[in-house]
Amino acid sequence: MKIDPRKRVRDVAGEHIVIMQSNDAADMTKVVALNESALHLYGLLQGREFGEEDVVQLMLDEYEVDDATARRDAAAWIESMKKEGLIID
């Protein structure tokens, strides 16, 4: 999987957001805000292929968490990012 290269993070009034335009006739613009941890992982993984184990390892390297916590949080981050359309397979 990889971060969708068409989605770019913008800094708006101190918030890190991704704005996604709909291709439909109706304006269905969606805004996704990223917290600092999500933004950090997003930046580290942008532009490369990665798997869940890569995210787990980044969490272990970057944060003071145990393996079980890193695995749980990595799975949740990936699921959330996929749900929002920010990660593509």
* Token reading at 4: 């969708």
Structure confidence at residue 27 (pLDDT):
59
Whole-angstrom Cα distance, residue 13 to residue 85?
Answer: 23
Q: Is the pLDDT of residue 6 over 90?
A: no
Q: What is the tens place of the pLDDT at every residue in 30-79?
A: 889 999 999 999 999 999 999 999 999 999 999 999 999 999 999 999 99
Q: What does the domain layout of the chain look like in residue ranges?
A: 2-88
CB atoms within 10 A of CB 70: 19
- Is domain 2-88 in CATH 2.60.40, yes or no? no
Take residue 77 and report the two structure tokens written for it.
Answer: 């981050």
Q: What is the pLDDT of residue 26?
A: 58
Return the pLDDT at 3: 93
Which one is predicted more confidently, 79 or 8? Answer: 79
CB of 22 closer than 8 Å to CB of 29: yes
Contacts of 6 (CB under 8 A, 6+ apart): none
